[in-house]
Amino acid sequence: MKKTILPLFLLASVLLVYTNCENANSQTEATTETEVPNEEALLKRGEYLLSIMDCDACHTPKNLTPQGPIPDMTRRLSGYPADKPLPAINKGEITPDKWILFTGDLTAAVGPWGVSFGANLTPHETGTGNWTFENFKTALRQGKHKGMENGRPLLPPMPWQVYRNLSDEDMQALFKAIQNLPPVENVVPAPIPPTEI
């Protein structure tokens, strides 16, 4: 009887060691495989944030249709079109107690601050192509143009005061999604101060 138990015990021990080695190998493989989906998950999260934060409303040129302005996704997040003339502005309508106005495609706004234009967020050098994540974070946390510490303030209607509350992880996801867009060359006009309207 003892002679039978010893070989069974040895066989069970060998199987246990083999199974543990296989589990360790499969866990290592699983860990390696999950690194790629984490990047994919970050990108998906960023795309989701771009959508629910409605970045297209002010940063994507629109095609005007009978159903209203429809984002032109071939120029997604490329900002106010550089070759588009600004419509005439009746300065008497934009006092703080009257109106804040948008162009028909919502990529430019006029108010007591003057005229502001939706920025080119695509990863072209005329947009965010030269930005680091730190620039992006500074723009959203501190409201600084081009994410530069000494940059001018971001102008309305950019709601950076709300976006600054994003977690670092969500900001990274958003930046990843923006950097994953097709680059669009478009030099957005500089803001127009209220004295020059």
Count of beta carbons in the 10 Å neighbourhood of residue 113: 18
pLDDT score at 87: 86
Give the phi and the psi of residue 44 in degrees, each rounded to 5. -60, -40
Q: Identify whether the C-beta of residue 77 lies closer than 8 Å to the C-beta of residue 55.
A: yes
Looking at the chain, the number of H-run helices and the number of E-run strands are 5, 5
Segments in the chain below pLDDT 70: 1-37, 96-97
- Where in the chain are the domains? 55-196
Give the pLDDT score at 32: 45
**Which pLDDT does position 3 carry in this prediction?**
53
The answer to whether the CB of 149 falls within 8 A of the CB of 41 is: no
Q: How far apart are alpha carbons 164 and 2 in whole angstroms?
A: 72
CB–CB of 117/130 below 8 Å? no
pLDDT attached to residue 50: 96
The one-letter amino acid code at 58 reads C
Looking at residue 119, its pLDDT comes to: 98
**pLDDT of res. 37:** 56
